[in-house]
Structure 1
């Protein structure tokens, strides 16, 4: 029987969650580190990222930023109030946080402009091939998989590791000083909002997932969640690698056209 989970310990302590969740998080750690410790953030922190790579990153990641509220909305469509404690928790949380996400796309454009990538390039530019992998995966899992899988893949995995790398970059004085002094505060707003100092969103998402799954879910269900989380990290990592890669000849031709 899938016994109901109700957290009693601290929200931000992994030991407050069922053993299956603790084991799952540990199993996903290598994939998470591949994003959190990517060389892209070192280049930003040291103020040495080249303009082409920054453009690839801003343009290539835009669809994930812009569409993120829609992924949450797809998960909201799966909920039914009163069906279960997990549904109720997810419904309240998604409704509240979709609204929070509404300005983040504008803040991303502010960051891009301050970093030398025009708003028009982000909105209309051709993203490097492969940089859409994370956005496409989020659409797939939120649109066609379970509520637990969708929240685990997006609000737990994507938001969680984004908070970690954002903090690395935001904490860097060298990166801040590499930006124009005029408008610097607005340029850094997206990073500031996502830096994970006190960010509880990923933990709240994990609590929702555990409430939906219970304390003793089937092993195959846990394995599926693990695969979904790892795929989120892997998609993000692949997109970052594509931002660093030289574009193929046909990509250059498409951009010129």
Structure 2
């Protein structure tokens, strides 16, 4: 039985959501932390990430940045106005936030340039093998998954974890001061927006997922949504791993050559 859900508590309080959602979020937490606490963010915070790894990151994650409005558009195509409260909520939210996303690709390129990676290299460079794991998964779930699954995997999981890691990096004075003062604000604009903007965005996505699924969805449906969320986190971690592993491979080659 799929009884209707309508949030009455605070947006950012987990207890405002059905018990199944609370349990699902808790179950996914350790997987999310493998992204939020990834070693690459610590390197960024210390301004010790090598140029090779920075390039891997900016080039390898670019497809996700460039395609993110398209992922949301694919979700929008699954909505039908008037079909359900969840559809109506998702439709309004997606239309509004696709516009918000429109400048993020430009801000990413500014960040890359400030970090020493040219716009040309980001746009046309060859991404290291494996860094496309996240982009491939987002494309897959937003194309073939249910509306609830695609929003959970991208707008809840990806944006939620991104909001947390970007806050960790953005609050680092050491990292900020690694950019020339005259370019600092523009270079860090992407980080600034995601550190603040994503504070409520994933909660809004969770509300949509819960409104779509109701108070008592079938157990296998909940398991599927949870698996999609975990796969997003895992794909993020794999992509980050590949950014650093490619650097380590190059370093090992240099040592052998020496």
Normalised to the residue count of structure 2, the TM-score between the two structures is 0.95
TM-superposition CA deviations, 1:224-254 (whole Å, max 9, x none):
00000000000000000000013669xx9xx
TM-superposition CA deviations, 1:111-165 (whole Å, max 9, x none):
0000000000100000011111111100100100100000000000000000000
Normalised to the residue count of structure 1, the TM-score between the two structures is 0.95
2:121 aligns with: 121
2:72 aligns with: 72
Q: CA deviation at 1:47?
A: 1.2
Q: CA deviation at 1:196?
A: 3.8
Q: 1:55 to 1:198 in 2, by over 3 A?
A: closer
Q: CA deviation at 1:198?
A: 7.1
| Counterpart-to-counterpart distance in 1, 2:246 and 2:143 | 33
| Counterpart-to-counterpart distance in 2, 1:145 and 1:157 | 15
Say whether residues 1:56 and 2:22 are aligned partners: no
Q: How does 1:1-257 map to 2 (within 5 A)?
A: 1-196=1-196, 199-246=199-246
Q: CA deviation at 1:46?
A: 0.8
Query: Where does structure 2 lack aligned partners over 5 or more consecutive residues?
Result: 254-258
Count of residue pairs the alignment pairs up: 250
SS in 1 for 2:161: helix
Task: Output the aligned Cα RMSD.
Answer: 1.3
| Counterpart-to-counterpart distance in 1, 2:236 and 2:24 | 19
| Counterpart-to-counterpart distance in 1, 2:140 and 2:187 | 31
Does the aligned pair in 2 maintain the 1:166–1:191 contact within 8 Å?
A: yes
Q: 1:198 to 1:156 in 2, by over 3 A?
A: closer
SS in 1 for 2:164: helix
Q: CA deviation at 1:197?
A: 7.2
| Counterpart-to-counterpart distance in 2, 1:205 and 1:196 | 16
| Counterpart-to-counterpart distance in 2, 1:24 and 1:121 | 40
Q: CA deviation at 1:182?
A: 2.2
Does the aligned pair in 2 maintain the 1:14–1:22 contact within 8 Å?
A: yes
1:255 aligns with: none
